[in-house]
Each structure stands twice: as C-alpha cells, then as structure tokens.
Amino acid sequence: MADTESMKTQARAVVIGGGVTGCSILYHLAKMGWTDSVLLERRELTSGSSWHAAGNLFVLTSPNNVSALQKYTFELYPKLAEESGQDCGFFAPGGLNLARTEDQYTALKMARSRGKRLGVEAEFISFEEAREHAPLLNTDPLHAVMYEPM
C-alpha cells in the first residue's frame, strides 16, 4: 500500500487513458522535462482500442498532418528501443496501395505527391514486384500498385 502522506495531490498534467495516444503524450511531456505529470488508466496499458490496431500503422494517409504524425511515429519507434534498452517489436515491411480504376490510380498519384512534400517515399511498381511483396495478390483486376516502404 502506498504511503498516502507522501503522495502528491496535484499534477501539472493529468493524461486520461493509457492507450498509444495517452502513453505518447506522457512520453513527450517527460521528454520536455515535465516531471509532475500522471497517466490514469482504468485497466492495463494499451488494453483498449490500441491493442487491436497495433499492426495497422501506415504513413500515406490524409489529412497531411496525420501523415506527418505517422512518419514521426515510424521514426520514433527505433529511438524508443535505443532509449529504453527494450525492443518495441516494431517491424515495418512496407505496404501496397492498390488501384482498380483510373480514378483510384489518380488518387494514388495525388497521395504520392502529398507524401513527397512530407518526405514520405512511395513508388509505383510492376505487378511482378507487387507479387514479390504479397505472393497471394491477384493483380488481374488491378490498374496500378504503389509501394510504400514505411
């Protein structure tokens, strides 16, 4: 049992929720030197909606500020492992964006252009290259495939 007389009753910041966002906020506050912050979670860390989306991280998305945040996240995970000495288990095999129509192809070209401005790499690849990344991919109905290394 904690000694209640030594427990603080005030905090500069109280973060509600121990999902990926709450943990990230607390981490960044600590990096800025905030030592009087607390995170409140009703169960276990990342036991809410964060746990089922753990493998669904991608960079090219919209709006642009979300892409910038995702790019930052991809670059942060390896640094977290270095800082903590604990492997985060982060693995980025890349992703395929598929276009079945000319309109979808145009949308991918626009996404690629937005990504370039943010420093996010993406390139159109051949169907053969796409099948190297995803051997079960049926490319017959596809118009184009864009590969995103992050």
Q: What is the CA radius of gyration of the chain?
A: 20
Please state, in angstroms and as integers, the Cα–Cα distance from residue 85 to each residue in 50, 58, 82, 103, following that order: 23, 25, 5, 46
Domain range for 47 is 13-52
Q: Which amino acid, 21? A: T
Q: At what angle do helices 102-118 and 64-84 cross, to 10 degrees?
A: 50
32 in a structural domain: yes
22 in a structural domain: yes
Over residues 91-104, the pLDDT tens digits come to 888 899 999 999 99
94 in a structural domain: no
48 in a structural domain: yes
Instruction: Give the torsion through C-alpha atoms of 129, 132, 138, 139, to 10 deg.
Output: 0
Instruction: Give the torsion through C-alpha atoms of 33, 83, 44, 55, to 10 deg.
Output: 120
60 in a structural domain: no
Over residues 37-63, the pLDDT tens digits come to 999 998 888 777 766 666 667 788 778
80 in a structural domain: no
36 in a structural domain: yes
> Considering the chain, what percentage of its residues have pLDDT values greater than 90?
47
Q: What is the pLDDT of residue 38?
A: 94
- The number of distinct structural domains making up the chain is 1
- Mean pLDDT, to the nearest integer, of 33-38? 94
